[in-house]
Structures are given as structure tokens and as C-alpha cells.
Amino acid sequence: MEERRQMPLIGDRFPEMKVETTLGTLNLPGDYKGKWFLLFSHPGDFTPVCTTEFYSFQKNYDKFRELNTELIGLSVDQVHSHLKWTEWIEDNMGEKIEFPIIADPMGDVAGRLGLIHSANTSATVRAVFIVDPEGIIRAILYYPSELGRNVDEFLRMMRGFRKSGEEKVAIPANWPENELIGDGVIIPPAGSEAAIKDRRERKERGEIECYDWWFCYKKA
């Protein structure tokens, strides 16, 4: 009977693996210890939607690096296909792809990460894994093949992870342009009567704002 692998989940450690890329061999997640990395799979080289995505990721690469975040691409294409495709992007669109792209022609990496759809075993799905500096998976996102990803959203997520980690807060919808609290951030829920009392006192002192004791926030 064929062994079924369970894809890793949010909160799991990213599986240790050695991968071949356009920039040489990498050991994941070890080679990125101390950095965040965003690994994104694409259905195939020389496809229009994927080309627009890679162009956008490269255009924003410096912004990711400012957030201590590296990019890693992945598909089941061979490394020479990746190299020819990135050469085409540079020659025709003026952007040199500087981040590595994993070549996974046997589907070993994609299989371990759950990136091969049962209905199409010849291509990787459009997915994203965000991994923190300790190698822990913090977010997993999947997209249909016809819908290109929004790179601004990944930058927003990285800024949100940083804000949340530094200030021990939660991030509201559409932050930093939330319809209720603007660029404010949410204080974690109170877990005791003493915490509820403390919140009410802090609100009276003008340190925080609240809709109720269970929904308190502070401005940026």
C-alpha cells in the first residue's frame, strides 16, 4: 500500500530537506536560520500568470529583505528550465531573478509539502509557506491556478508578524487600514477578572481604547 504523507501544518517545523536550486544546493530550513523565508510554488515555468508573479516578487525583493525575509521559488520543472525562464524574464522584462528557485522534477519536495494536486500530478499547485527564523511554519496559503497572488499582501503579513511579535498584539483585518481602528493593533483577550479590571483602568487613563473589555486596542 502506498504510504500517505500528511502535509505539514501551521505551527509545525518545516521539514528538513536538501534541495537543488538555480543558486546551488540549499538545506532547508537550516540555511535560513535567523531569517524568515517565504517559499512559493508555481504550476510551471514559461506560463503567463507565473511570469507576472516572479516579476512582482523580484520587484519587491528589497522590501522583503528589509523585513529579514528571503524568497524561494519552487516547481517540478528542471533547473535548466528555471534558468532559461529567468534568463527570458531578464532579457524581455528587465528584471534579474535574484532569489533561488527549487528544481523538483521528481516531485519529492512538492510531495512532502502537499503541493501536488491529485487531479494533476504533473504540476505544482500555487501555494505559499511562510517560515519564521526558528524554522516554524507560520502561514500556509493556496490559490487556484488561474489567480495570481498579491505580493503586497505577503509584505503586509511580514510586517504584521513583526508587529505582533515585538508588541505581543494581534493584527486586525486590512491592517494598517482597518475600517474600525485604522492602524491600531488588538490587545490579546483578557483571561481573568483582574485582567478585565486592569483594562478598564487603562482605558480610563487613556492608555488604550475599547469597544468592550474583550475588544481593546491601542493605536500605533
Q: Could you give the residue numbers annotated as active site?
A: 50
Report yes or no: 18 and 26 within 8 Å, Cβ to Cβ.
yes
Asked if 5 and 95 touch (Cβ cutoff 8 Å), the reply is no
* Mode of pairing for the β-strands spanning 36-41 and 120-124: unpaired
Q: Determine the Cα–Cα distance for residues 48 and 42; give it in Å rounded to an integer.
A: 11
Which DSSP string do the residues of 90-137 spell out, in sequence order? Answer: HHHHS----S-EEE-TT-HHHHHHT-EETTEEEEE-EEEEEE-TTSBE
Q: Which three cell numbers stand for residue 204?
A: 480610563
Q: What is the CA radius of gyration of the chain?
A: 21
What whole-number distance in Å separates Cα of residue 65 and Cα of residue 59? 12
Tallying the residues shown for the chain, one arrives at 220
d(CA 148, CA 169): 30
